[in-house]
């Protein structure tokens, strides 16, 4: 039976925005072992389901999709970041004056 992962992607390390973190993703788990390509050395797989990612607006819709297709599913809870908002001027004040 096919198993899928349902999760919310985390915030990108390269950007400060949270643009693509509100959707839920469904990814297929592969049973095919990953092996290095003899010519280039890249990791390859024969299973094309590994490259498929489906996006849903809510967790309920993602679960409903998995149930209607007859897939087993695992839900991974999103990680919450606790970044405090600060202004640009904070970069130029010393920590002693900020009270930190």
Answer whether 0.75 is exceeded by the pTM. no
Using CA atoms, how far apart are residues 14 and 49, in angstroms rounded to an integer?
27
H-type helices in the chain, by residue range? 59-69, 95-98
Is 3-79 a CATH 3.30.160.190 domain? yes
More confident residue, 89 or 8: 8
Q: What is the pLDDT of residues 14-57, one digit of tens each?
A: 776 777 778 899 999 887 888 888 888 888 888 888 788 999 99
pLDDT of residue 7 exceeding 80: yes
Q: What is the pLDDT of residues 57-68, one digit of tens each?
A: 999 999 999 999
The DSSP symbol for 67 reads: H
Enumerate the domain spans of the chain. Answer: 3-79
pLDDT of residue 96 exceeding 80: no
Q: What pLDDT does 48 receive?
A: 80
From the list 94, 81, 90, 100, the residue with the least C-alpha distance to 15 is: 81
Using CA atoms, how far apart are residues 88 and 79, in angstroms rounded to an integer?
26
């Amino acid at each position: 039976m096919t198993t899928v992962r349902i999760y919310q992607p985390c915030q990108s390390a390269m950007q400060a925005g949270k643009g693509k973190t509100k959707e839920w993703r469904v990814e297929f788990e592969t049973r095919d072992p990953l092996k290095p390509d003899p010519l280039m050395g890249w990791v390859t797989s024969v299973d094309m389901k590994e490259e498929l990612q489906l996006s849903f607006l809510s967790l309920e819709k993602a679960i409903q999709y998995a149930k209607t297709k007859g897939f087993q599913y695992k839900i991974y809870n999103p990680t919450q970041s606790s970044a405090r908002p600060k202004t640009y001027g904070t970069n130029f004040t010393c920590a002693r004056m900020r009270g930190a």
